[in-house]
Amino acid sequence: MLAPPASAPTRSRGSRPRTSWDLFRVIRTELTVTTNGPLANALVLDLSRALAGPHAAMMLGDLGARVIKVESPGQGDDSRIWGPPFVGDESTDATYYLSCNRNKESLQLDLKSASGHEALRELIRRADVLIENFRPGVFDRLGFPPAVLEELNPRLVVLSISGFGSEGPESERPGYDLIAQGESGLMSITGPDPDHPTRVGVPIGDLLAGIYGAFGVVSALNDRNQTGRGSVVRTSLLAALVGAHAFHGTAWTTAGKVGAASGNHHPQIAPYGAFRCADGTVQVAVGSEAQWRKFADLLGLDAEDERFASNSERLANRDALIEVVENVLLTKPRDHWLTSCNEAGVPAGAVRAIDEVYEWEQTRSQGLVVEVEHPVVGKIEIPGPPLRFETFTGQRLGRTEHTAPPTLGQHTSAVSEWLESR
């Protein structure tokens, strides 16, 4: 839990505002029920739209923070119309929007109007975190450059997410995940082979930027607890994707080797990939020589075959290895090999469709599906948070309930009344 500020000055109307810490009890009683979690005493303003910023804000909300989503009147977040599919027959919100906006409240504000501008200033005075993903310079031109934010709230932590960074020759370019996946080199190492660059099946640049951003915010809040000073955290789709190059990055920077797409097989480990079997596909991940010997024995292969005796030889003869392995796997169905590999201590798994994943007992046991009450269509299931918190004795900590992504302006009246009453 965040530590309170060293001092908490009182505030009367027209005087310097109290810190957001003093107003948390007011927010809890006037807006929604109290939350729990490591960030239960944090107030987050989410001015972002689409995916990267909203995903970061949702992560903070999952941790217990109060998240007020500030949206433009009328349309709101761009992702609300990114469908079909939409939420039931009576809602105009796309399921895309639902994926990144749980545990939030929606406030409509016209930031170009005098009243909207002043309302945002009041919110900033009370906030702990502000998240924005405007193109570089836009938020400044709206009247909120870093100097103004610091004047309004010296303890504020700002998360700014852009497409290609806040400076540099291409900083003004708009940020779209598809474009960033190509520009970052990710597509060149994804796909069946080097001739068919392929995007990742989810907007991975947006998601990683959101995850890195939330990590940066939590780090900045910890720093603020020590120094009493806020800061600006910056990341971008480009930075997030380059930061995820992993071994491909160091293969180039230290060894001069340019990575290339290798399909469903690992470029540096073998056998490590997807193999055909009698009724579909099974994935096998042989990560050590001991596992190779177990796998070879399971398939009736000679582990000391000079073509496959070490990982280096197996990589050099990977096509032959795949053929030899598949010739055996094709003789029996997937479930047989999954069971046999598990018993032998060889990592293996199925390739599940999305519907299978959400019906899988293991998925549900981890809290990865939650039921929420949508204000229009009633009870619905949505993906749940990937983090859990427990005591050393196994007692669950953090949020016990989650709220549905809000409809546009659902909490405008409550938030407006709260602002006017202070």
Catalytically active residues, by annotation: 206
Percentage helix, strand, coil, to 5, in the chain? Answer: 40, 15, 45
* Sign (positive or negative) of CA dihedral 377, 383, 385, 391: positive
Q: How far is CA 6 from CA 21, 27, 229, 308, 356, in A?
A: 11, 21, 11, 64, 51
Locate 344 and state its tokens: 């032998």
Cα separation, 121 vs 124, in Å, equals 5
CB 153 within 8 A of CB 124: yes
DSSP string, 395-411: -EES-S---PPPPTTTT
Q: How far is CA 228 from CA 92, 222, 294, 310, in A?
A: 43, 10, 56, 55
* Sign (positive or negative) of CA dihedral 265, 271, 273, 274: positive
> Which residues, listed in sequence order, are joined to residue 132 by a DSSP beta bridge?
160
Q: Is the peptide bond before 5 cis (omega within 30 degrees of 0)?
A: no
169 burial type by CB count under 10 A (0-12 exposed, 13-18 middle, 19+ buried)? exposed
How many CB atoms are closer than 10 A to CB 186?
A: 22
Give the distance from CA 125 to its chain's centroid: 27
Q: What is the dihedral of CA 245, 250, 256, 261, to 10 degrees?
A: -30
DSSP secondary structure code for residue 188 in this structure: G
